[in-house]
Each structure stands twice: as C-alpha cells, then as structure tokens.
Amino acid sequence: MKKSDQDAGTIAALMLRFKEYRLPRAKRLLKKVEGGAILSDEDIQFLKRVYTDGRNSQPLVKRNPEYHELVTRALDLYTEIITTGLENEKNRS
C-alpha cells in the first residue's frame, strides 16, 4: 500500500474522531472553564491523550500540509482550554 493511501485512511479516521468526539468535548470543556470551573482529572487525562496523539500525528501532518491550519486551530482551542483552566485553578487558591 502506498503511503498516500495509508495516510488517506488514517486522516479519515482522525477526522471522524475529531468531528464526532474530540471537538464536541473540547467545546464543552471550553464552556466549562469559561464559566469559571476547573478541569477535572478526567478532563486533564483527555487533554493529555489529545496532546500525545497530536505529537504522534506530526509526521502525518508534515506529509499532508493541507491539514496544517486545521491542526493549528484545534491546538489553539486546546491551549485556550488549558490556559483558562489554569487561571481558574489559580483564582481558587
């Protein structure tokens, strides 16, 4: 199987996971922290999984630069969640 065919299948699976699971959860987390809540242990584990998967997907994105902007925007969303969650945690102390 050619690398481009393999990449296409992987990208399709990642896009489906992002659309159906990760993006909706990220939106809920953003709303949660924007409301002043702190991140739960489960939320933090989710964000760690996303981070790990993102690092593991870097070669795929390098080979398929048309997805770079989408990945960057998703990372910005996760960064906003983490930053706001940390600010909420500091404000509670």
pLDDT digits (tens, 9 = 90+) for 36-51: 999 999 999 999 999 9
**pLDDT for residue 71:** 94
CA distance 54 to 50: 6
Q: In this structure, are residues 38 and 89 in contact, taking their beta carbons and an 8 Å threshold?
A: yes
Over range 84-91, report the average pLDDT.
96
Give, in order, the Cα–Cα distances in Å from 63 to each of 3, 6, 7, 31.
10, 12, 9, 33
**pLDDT for residue 3:** 73
Residue 15 confidence (pLDDT) above 70: yes
Number of domains in the chain: 1
Give, in order, the Cα–Cα distances in Å from 3 to each of 10, 53, 57, 59.
10, 19, 14, 12
Instruction: Residue 66: give the domain boundaries.
Output: 3-92
